[in-house]
Amino acid sequence: MIELIKKSTDNILNTHKIILLDEEQQQINDWLTLVASKQDKQAFSQLFKFFAPRIRSHGLKKFRQEAQAMELVQETMMLVWRKATQFNVDKGKASTWIYTIMRNYSFDMLRKVQSNKEDLMSDDLWPMLDVEEDEKEEDHLQSRHLLAFIKTLPDLQKQVVEGIYIEDKTQQELADELSVPIGTIKSRLRLAMVKLRDMMEEE
């Protein structure tokens, strides 16, 4: 049964190649810190330039399809942009942090491909990525409960619910903005609604 472990990850710990230079690591840390602290677009562009082709290449090896490799680039870099504030330089290297985001997204993608499941399990398997939102925000809609529930949705579902119900976008606009098929938006929305309904019923 050990067959299911792919060769590519064997013996990694025994290789002693210096793969990313120290300066390169430092540079990546600095860029990500700039993105986190002031949404620095120039720094993010540098990160994109470095990582996008590498993520694509990783995705091609994993999925063997250009469209899926591109989805992996898109979603990973989107999460890096949106979640940069969670990066803590004391806890590890920026390049490793970005790797774990890519790994998590591709785990969920693979599960979708193989089992047709969109259960987005990676958040719970590698829970350090999980965060709660700050309480600073004002309660604009006077529906604290609902907003609190929406916040507990997995990120991809949350993004769609917020886009449509809070930012008033159409499904097509969201699909274009996120560069995913409209069907993906619909299925994320459907999953989110089922979850929200369950949460409301429990309440």
Partner 1 sequence: MMINFHPSQKMLTAFSAGELPLSLSIAVSAHIELCDQCAQQAQRVEQSLSQEAWQDNTLENADFGDMLQAIMATSHETLQATKIVAKATTKIAGREYQLPTAFKKFTDIKWSGFGAISRARVINDEKNIRASLLHITKGGCIPEHKHKGYELTLLLDGSFSDAAGTYQKGDFIWLDGEQSHSPFTKEGCLCYAVQDAPLHFMSGVSKVLNPLGNLIY
* Alpha-carbon span 84 to 96, nearest angstrom: 13
Binds partner 1 (CB under 8 A): choice among 67, 82, 89, 197: 82
* Binding residues among 35-64 for partner 1 as defined by CB under 8 A: 39, 41, 44-45, 48, 51-54, 56-58
* Alpha-carbon span 95 to 149, nearest angstrom: 32
Binds partner 1 (CB under 8 A): choice among 29, 78, 165, 171: 78
33 binds partner 1 (CB under 8 A): no
Distances (CA, A) of 203 to 145, 194, 198: 9, 14, 9
Provide, rounded to whole angstroms, the least separation between the CB of residue 127 and partner 1: 4
* Alpha-carbon span 66 to 70, nearest angstrom: 6
Binds partner 1 (CB under 8 A): choice among 67, 89, 113, 125: 125
201 binds partner 1 (CB under 8 A): no
112 binds partner 1 (CB under 8 A): no
Number of residues that bind partner 1 (CB under 8 A): 74
* Alpha-carbon span 186 to 157, nearest angstrom: 10
* Binding residues among 152-191 for partner 1 as defined by CB under 8 A: 177-179
3-class secondary-structure state, position 117 = coil
Whichever of 45 and 65 has its CB closer to partner 1, that residue is 45
Q: Report DSSP state, residue 157.
A: H
Binds partner 1 (CB under 8 A): choice among 26, 67, 117, 143: 117
Binds partner 1 (CB under 8 A): choice among 26, 65, 67, 96: 96
Binds partner 1 (CB under 8 A): choice among 89, 128, 194, 200: 128
Cα torsion through 162, 163, 166, 171, rounded to 10: -120
193 binds partner 1 (CB under 8 A): no
139 binds partner 1 (CB under 8 A): no
CA dihedral for 69, 100, 120, 164, sign (positive or negative): negative
Whichever of 132 and 139 has its CB closer to partner 1, that residue is 132
Diameter over CA atoms, the chain: 57
Stretch that binds partner 1, among 68-76, 140-148, 182-190 (CB under 8 A): 68-76
* Structural tokens at position 120: 């987005």
* Alpha-carbon span 109 to 88, nearest angstrom: 26
